Structure 1
Amino acid sequence: MYSPDFLESRDRLPLLADSAVGPVIRVSSTGFRNALIIDRRAAVLWSGVGAVDPYVVLVRDPVLIGTIHQFATMTWEAAARVEGRKDVGQPSFDERSLAVLDALAHGVKDEVAARELGVSLRTYRRVVADLMVRLEVGTRFQVGVRAAQLGLISLD
């Protein structure tokens, strides 16, 4: 379970790939993090990064572990799945990249789009190639599909 801040500080595309085949990753905006429950026999709780007075607590009391487990389960169930969050996997794009995505989405020829954006044809094509790498796709069509999935373009 990750916090939204943790996701914001990481490259999120690998998280999307990992969540498709590996463990399920969820994002919770609640403060329940920094806990580890081991076979419902022990729990380790620790303070977050940068805490003024850092601490670590080992819990072995079965009743307390049951309560911690119940709280963790409720938090897990309420948290959003990574692949369900629109902001996950969406790297930041500058205005030029968004304009190129829009041109691609509307089928504008490279020469026309470059002229409209005030860049050389070579620069325009370099931005398209960069978008393909950043979105981890192999074709211009896939750029459009991925951009639409991420809500980066509108086909209106």
Structure 2
Amino acid sequence: MSRILIAPDVTVRRVTHPPGDHFFGYYEKTPWSPSGSRVLGMRAGFRYRQPTPDDELELGLVDPQGIEPFEPFAATTAWCWQQGTMLQWVPGTTDSVVYNRRREGRFAGVVHDLATGERRELERAVYAVDPVGRYAIGLNFARLATQRPGYGYGH
């Protein structure tokens, strides 16, 4: 197996700090904003158990330099450790993100403009957004939770 070096001068540093446990998921999504000046993150108040439908996850912005504190912009109860809440930047925008939420017993995507605070709820939960930011694809996260425990959202 060969090693691939990202860059010879890469410095690894911690960019989040207590309280809470911070993470980002899923692996095929990038947490970095298009400009690279902000990073998306999630903060949980516990770590050694699966989330219940009542466990809230904070969504926020992280300073990539690790100087500024975690800056929450929303919370959700539609999440899991493996995939988070499918938090991701909306392609073609500089300030919009999408994530999932639970409301009245169902899951729905939310398009959130971080500059204005405006939120628009979608009919269904979101799994991924197309490269232009025009379409999204979703799946049944409740069913996924029963078929692949740890990947869906509990109900």
Larger Rg: 1
Instruction: Please indicate the TM-score interval, normalised by the length of the shorter structure.
Output: under 0.3
Structure with the higher fraction of residues in strand conformation: 2
Higher relative contact order (CA 8 A, sep 6+): 1
Q: Normalising by structure 1, report the TM-score.
A: 0.25
Q: Normalising by structure 2, report the TM-score.
A: 0.25
